[in-house]
Amino acid sequence: MSAKKEENEEANSEKASGKGKIKSISELPGIGTQSAEKLIKAGYKTLESIAVASPAELMEAAELGEITATKAINAARDALEMGYETADKIAERREHIGKISTGSKEIDSLIGGGLETQSLTEIYGQYASGKTQWAFQLAVMAQLPKEKGGLAGNVLYIDSENSFRPERVISIAKAKSLDPQKVLKNIFVARAYNADHQMLLAEKAGEMVKEKNIRLIIVDSLTAQFRAEFLGRGTLADRQQKLNKHMHALMRLAEMNNLAVLVTNQVMSRPDILFGDPTAPIGGHIVAHNSKTRLYLRKAKEDKRVAKLVDSPSLPDGEALYKITPNGIEDI
């Protein structure tokens, strides 16, 4: 057997097993030119995006068989050496985490210095509790230089309630001594008209992240469209399944691109609770488990507001007092 023939057979064997120096999607086993084009069109442009996908997602995106999709995913993971690693490497990676200040020292102290990248933060509360004001504030703060509490980056804003108001962003930008027009140009807003459209916008966001230097993605609100479309207990399973997929897409964007994700959430009344606050966030355990940091917002006496840290993987529960003024979120 000639040396060249041996090399070709070895290369084919490596591709079939998913091993070797795979550097692009088209080199994955079972992925031809047409399948690669479909995957790229669906937003799976890198080996990393394939490696963290599920077989069902690739099957839907490129009409692949389950076995082919599984082989492609495993090959991408092998090429990227995704497996166990020592904790010191994780600690080293976390040193690159950025934080966006909220504009309030009290709140920043409560959440460990600001909104973290590589993570999803959920804020929830009753109507007029100030959730969208947080979204406006952080859309401006993210654009500040790092030494001033920002990430010197741009923002993607998914608006599911038609509540985005540029005039509010302008007033906050002026308070931070920023050029309002430049701030507005750095916020890319998309109106989500239904749950499927909202999910599609999140999936397509990956195409803009690096191109537009996106450091913060905002979804206001996470559950409004799902709540309106999926009515009754009979549709609860479908709703939760879609919410889970949506939040996983957002989490993947945060972790793979070292950006922050902020979602606002609505609440419902719990008549079975006789003592204490009867409100509970929409989405149940699915939203709770996918949110790394959860904050409950409520009004207090006079013009005061309360942000309560409900859940965090590294911080104790606590509360912070603040106020919302024409200049945005401020300490009392």
CATH code of the domain containing 39? 1.10.150.20
Query: What is the four-CA torsion angle of 307, 152, 199, 123, rounded to 10 degrees?
Result: 0
User: Quick one: pLDDT band at residue 43, thresholds 50, 70, 90?
Assistant: confident
Same domain, 283 and 214: yes
What's the total number of domains in the chain? 2
130 has a pLDDT exceeding 70 = yes
Sheet of 318-325: strands edge to edge?
A: 187-191, 154-159, 214-220, 260-265, 119-125, 293-299, 304-311, 318-325, 328-330
Same domain, 53 and 103: no
User: Quick one: pLDDT band at residue 116, thresholds 50, 70, 90?
Assistant: very high
Q: 128: which 2 tokens?
A: 């007029």
pLDDT at 49: 87
Q: 133: which 2 tokens?
A: 């004001």
pLDDT at 177: 96
274 has a pLDDT exceeding 70 = no
**Which positions ≥6 away from 132 have C-beta within 8 Å?**
161, 163, 220, 264
Do the domain assignments include residue 85? no
* SS3 category, 266: coil
- Which residues are 280's β-sheet partners? 268
151 has a pLDDT exceeding 90 = yes
Question: 51 with 82: CB under 8 angstroms?
Answer: yes
Same domain, 126 and 216: yes
Do the domain assignments include residue 87? no
> Whole-number mean pLDDT of the chain?
90
Predicted confidence (pLDDT) per residue in 133-149, tens digit:
999 999 999 999 999 99
Same domain, 52 and 201: no
Query: Domain range for residue 257?
Result: 92-330
Amino acid at 47: L
CATH code of the domain containing 235? 3.40.50.300
7 has a pLDDT exceeding 50 = no
Same domain, 68 and 202: no
Region 208-237: mean pLDDT is 94
Distance CA 106, CA 319 (A): 9
Do the domain assignments include residue 84? no
**Whose structure tokens read 């120096």?**
21
pLDDT at 3: 44
Same domain, 51 and 118: no
Same domain, 229 and 142: yes
Same domain, 178 and 324: yes
Which of 42-46, 114-118, 178-182 has the weakest average pLDDT?
42-46
